[in-house]
Structure 1
Amino acid sequence: MPLRWKIAALAASTACLVAAAVGVLVHMWTSSDIRSQAEMQAFNRLYSAMDTYRRTGTLTDGAKLDPAGLPAALRHPSDGARHTAYDGRIDGNVGPSAWAAQRVGGPDSPVLAFQVNMSPQLHDLRRLDVTMTVASLVALAAATPLAVYGAGLLGRRLRRVSETAGRISAGDLDARTGPTQGRDEVDDIAATVDLMADSLGRRLRTERQFTADVAHELRTPVGGLLAAADLLPSGETEDLVRARVRDLRDLVEDLLEISRLDAGAEHPVRARVPLGAVVSEAVARTGLDTDVTVADVQPEEAAETVETDPRRLERIVSNLVVNAHRHGDTPVRVSVEGHTVVVRDHGPGFPPDLLRDGPRRFHTGAAERGSGHGLGLTIALGQARLLGAELRLDNAPDGGAVATLRLPV
């Protein structure tokens, strides 16, 4: 259930409880007041009737001696004082009633009583109950839409904060909630989310700048090492040194490429090229044993072409193929169909955290996926975004990692 409906339901329930409580209290107070007034009226009328009876021996209108309907509590008063009692019985149009009674003389003398009919007042009380019930329903009907509207405003503000947090979680560190209406807890949450995004952005920019600075500083000495290694005489040890220096050079070049992608300094040079031919050439340049399958094209149809940067497309495909051989297992197959390129190996597959969070630098995900710097997939993903393509990483149901590249039409 959406938050606004929960808030509206809570507000309506609270209003119902308050209205019911007020109605019960008003009914009880009014009923008690009616009874007190009726008993006081009966008491005063009895006082006047007793005075007349003692002076003249006659009964005033409404006064009775030992009436048959007198409540049992007043039939045998033990003293000569006046007493009152409530009788809830209804006889025709009379009742409930308030009675007042007093003996006219000694202990065995008759009891003079006076009855006050409370029916009109109780009828008014019932009308008051109905009026309060109707008024409560009308107020509830008017308050519920207002509660829904107010809760909707709160829900929209919270949804705005949630959407911003989702964009930040997806990697958009420039997303901000901005000022929200009202100075309340929602505004505090929005400000906190924006501060978090600022902090993450500063930290990420610092890390990216550090990576770029390290790569730039290492480029010259690594180039010198490579030149010096090439001057070494042939031998197993010398060949190992040259291989390690080349690995170091490749690492520095990868870091530089990532830093340029992070800085937005890369710009694709697009051209319309045959997708199958570009993919086949990229796979061939890796020198790795990889099966390439291009969907059959009818003789009368032209080969599938895409408008993209062929150099960056080759970079993506070669990185995916090298990653499949390094971290997966043979056979490695590349298939091209339409605007889609699929690279699949038959190894342990991508680790769960990589599928959940995406590739991370210097993180291969699992020991069984072999060694490496964890930069190949990061570069492939960055180049795919630059080309406006979608790179999806999955695991096949029967085992193995599957990388699917979908180029824009």
Structure 2
Amino acid sequence: MVRKWLLQFEWLLRSSTLRLAALLSAIFALGFVVAIFVALTLGQRALEQRVDATLTVLAQGSGVAQTRVDGAGMIRRPVHDLAGLPEPFRRAVERGGGTLDLDDDLMGSDKWRVMVASDNDGRPTMVAVSVEDSADAQELLASILWTTAGIVIALTLAIGVWMGLLAQRRLARINRTLGQLAAGDLSARTVHSQAKDDLDDMSHNLNQTASELERLVSQTRRLSASIAHDLRTPLARLRAQLEMLPEGDGRAAALEEASRLSDIFDTIMRVARIEAGQGREGFEHVSLDELAQDMAETFGPVVEDEGKTLNLEIASSATVQADRAMLVQALANLIQNALVHGGEQITVFVDGYSLGVADNGAGVEPAQFSKIIEPMVRLDAARGTPGSGLGLALVKAVADRHGAKLNLAMHNPHGLRVTLNFTQM
């Protein structure tokens, strides 16, 4: 459950805009922290230098009559007379001075700055002043700076993430439109924003490209369908004239060739109509296992007449929104393809939202999978057998029309396995 919830935010890790926003925020935060650290360090050193200069003046102003002073906030004694002072003073004198942090207050202060210098008679003298007020001021300043830094960094990160999310949303719309175009929906367009920036230019160019692509594809489909439609009439006349010829081998061969051409034109028109279809008109709930059973009962005798066997395998079934007539047409093409090019065993299978046909023939090399689904493409091994090279192209058109993924794979141990993977409802 937790893993599934986390997967919903996986896109955050893959978002280049959010990564850029996080990187810039991290650089800004690091620079801010370094600047504050340097400012506080230099300020501390400047303060110590000013205090040391004052201690030097105080030491030089002492003499024979003023060798020992234990006043409020200041101590001045000869280095050999440190009686009564805490031990940290003695250690500070030994190392030549420094800043002390006492465990207990001395004269109302627990933080002292100590220096050993010569008085006006040239004798070494220890001079110490309380720097607790300065330390408190320094700590207060540091607290203010770090608090301000935290607020500014948080605001910077929030603004960066917000701007990154806005850019990511626009990129997601562009990517979604590209996905729809790749899936065959040439009417997909992305929405323009009012930013007038490079992403808006990208959206505009994408829409223009999609419009031109839709125009060219529609023109090509109409042209191919028109050619096929226009040629059917003269082909029908030719067939009628051939039937009027005397019986003979030439007449039978000519009629067979005319029938084959007529079938090719019919298939081209069917593919064009399927590819031109939009929306879900004609779609209904179709149970894949019932569809497979009907196809097995219909084509079983046909396959047996060819000396082959048609098997039915149903692992699990599902119901999809589909045009039943189109699915029947696709399965019929797959069975016919396996009957012509496959082996002795043909299998119609259903596994959940997957529907397809497999055979145990010679199969097809995986490198050729992308080619055999193209219209009018036939491999060298299939050129000696009947066919037009449009069977799998029609299946691909039906798959695209239903938003299904057409998958071709080697069948175990050999043969071809063609699967339509439908999206779950």
TM-score range, shorter chain: 0.5 to 0.7
Asked if 1:129 corresponds to 2:142, the answer is yes
Partner of 1:374 in structure 2?
Answer: 389
Matches of 1:289 and 1:110 in 2, distance apart? 123
Matches of 2:382 and 2:244 in 1, distance apart? 35
5+ residue gaps, structure 2, are 1-9, 83-92, 103-109, 314-320
Partner of 1:322 in structure 2?
Answer: 336
Going from structure 1 to structure 2, the CA distance change for 1:39 and 1:183 (only over 3 Å counts) comes to farther
Going from structure 1 to structure 2, the CA distance change for 1:400 and 1:137 (only over 3 Å counts) comes to same
Secondary structure at the counterpart of residue 223 of structure 2: helix
Q: Which amino acid aligns with 1:251?
A: I
Secondary structure at the counterpart of residue 345 of structure 2: coil
Of 374, 388, 391, which aligns to 1:360? 374
Q: Which amino acid aligns with 2:414?
A: G
Partner of 1:82 in structure 2?
Answer: none
Asked if 1:248 corresponds to 2:258, the answer is no
Q: What RMSD over aligned residues (CA atoms) do the two structures have, in Å?
A: 5.1
Report how far residue 30 of structure 1 moved.
0.9
Going from structure 1 to structure 2, the CA distance change for 1:148 and 1:374 (only over 3 Å counts) comes to same
Matches of 1:391 and 1:91 in 2, distance apart? 75
Going from structure 1 to structure 2, the CA distance change for 1:310 and 1:100 (only over 3 Å counts) comes to closer
Higher mean C-alpha displacement, 376-385 vs 285-294: 285-294
Report how far residue 282 of structure 1 moved.
5.9
Secondary structure at the counterpart of residue 26 of structure 1: helix
Partner of 1:202 in structure 2?
Answer: 215
Q: Which amino acid aligns with 2:392?
A: L
Matches of 2:331 and 2:225 in 1, distance apart? 24
Matches of 1:358 and 1:136 in 2, distance apart? 63
Higher mean C-alpha displacement, 323-332 vs 127-136: 127-136
Matches of 1:338 and 1:132 in 2, distance apart? 62
Q: How does 1:79-94 map to 2 (within 5 A)?
A: 87-88=97-98, 90=100, 93=110
Asked if 1:222 corresponds to 2:235, the answer is yes
Q: Is the 8 A contact 1:87 1:99 kept in 2?
A: yes
Q: How does 1:14-163 map to 2 (within 5 A)?
A: 14-42=27-55, 49=61, 59=66, 67-68=79-80, 87-88=97-98, 90=100, 93=110, 95-97=112-114, 101=118, 103=120, 110=123, 117-141=130-154, 143-163=156-176
Going from structure 1 to structure 2, the CA distance change for 1:373 and 1:331 (only over 3 Å counts) comes to same
Q: Which amino acid aligns with 2:346?
A: V
Report how far residue 88 of structure 1 moved.
1.6
TM-score (norm 1): 0.67
Q: Is the 8 A contact 1:282 1:314 kept in 2?
A: no
Q: Is the 8 A contact 1:292 1:335 kept in 2?
A: no
Report how far residue 40 of structure 1 moved.
4.4
Matches of 1:327 and 1:127 in 2, distance apart? 86
Q: Is the 8 A contact 1:39 1:99 kept in 2?
A: no
Q: Which amino acid aligns with 1:397?
A: N
Matches of 1:145 and 1:91 in 2, distance apart? 41
Partner of 1:298 in structure 2?
Answer: none
Higher mean C-alpha displacement, 25-34 vs 119-128: 119-128
Matches of 1:118 and 1:125 in 2, distance apart? 10
Q: Which amino acid aligns with 1:177?
A: T
Report how far residue 21 of structure 1 moved.
0.3
Report how far residue 398 of structure 1 moved.
3.0
5+ residue gaps, structure 1, are 76-85, 296-306
Matches of 2:140 and 2:115 in 1, distance apart? 21
Asked if 1:398 corresponds to 2:413, the answer is yes
Matches of 2:266 and 2:203 in 1, distance apart? 40
TM-score (norm 2): 0.65
Partner of 1:344 in structure 2?
Answer: 358
Going from structure 1 to structure 2, the CA distance change for 1:23 and 1:248 (only over 3 Å counts) comes to same
Q: Which amino acid aligns with 1:243?
A: E
Report how far residue 339 of structure 1 moved.
12
Q: Is the 8 A contact 2:118 2:125 kept in 1?
A: yes
Going from structure 1 to structure 2, the CA distance change for 1:353 and 1:400 (only over 3 Å counts) comes to same
Q: Which amino acid aligns with 1:258?
A: V
Matches of 2:373 and 2:257 in 1, distance apart? 24
Q: Is the 8 A contact 2:184 2:400 kept in 1?
A: no
Asked if 1:213 corresponds to 2:235, the answer is no
Report how far residue 325 of structure 1 moved.
2.3
Q: Which amino acid aligns with 1:223?
A: A
Going from structure 1 to structure 2, the CA distance change for 1:336 and 1:133 (only over 3 Å counts) comes to closer
Of 161, 165, 170, which aligns to 2:183? 170
Deviation sequence 1:337-376 (CA, Å, 0-9, x none): 9999854322244654686799321234x44455643212
What is the aligned residue count? Answer: 373
Q: Which amino acid aligns with 1:360?
A: E
Larger Rg: 1
Report how far residue 170 of structure 1 moved.
1.5
Q: Which amino acid aligns with 2:360?
A: H
Matches of 1:199 and 1:238 in 2, distance apart? 47
Q: Is the 8 A contact 1:99 1:116 kept in 2?
A: no
Matches of 1:124 and 1:337 in 2, distance apart? 75
Going from structure 1 to structure 2, the CA distance change for 1:117 and 1:65 (only over 3 Å counts) comes to same
Q: Is the 8 A contact 1:332 1:346 kept in 2?
A: yes
Matches of 1:114 and 1:294 in 2, distance apart? 103
Q: How does 1:184-203 map to 2 (within 5 A)?
A: 184-203=197-216
Report how far residue 185 of structure 1 moved.
4.4
Going from structure 1 to structure 2, the CA distance change for 1:66 and 1:91 (only over 3 Å counts) comes to farther
Deviation sequence 1:55-76 (CA, Å, 0-9, x none): xx85497796965599xxxx9x
Going from structure 1 to structure 2, the CA distance change for 1:153 and 1:355 (only over 3 Å counts) comes to farther
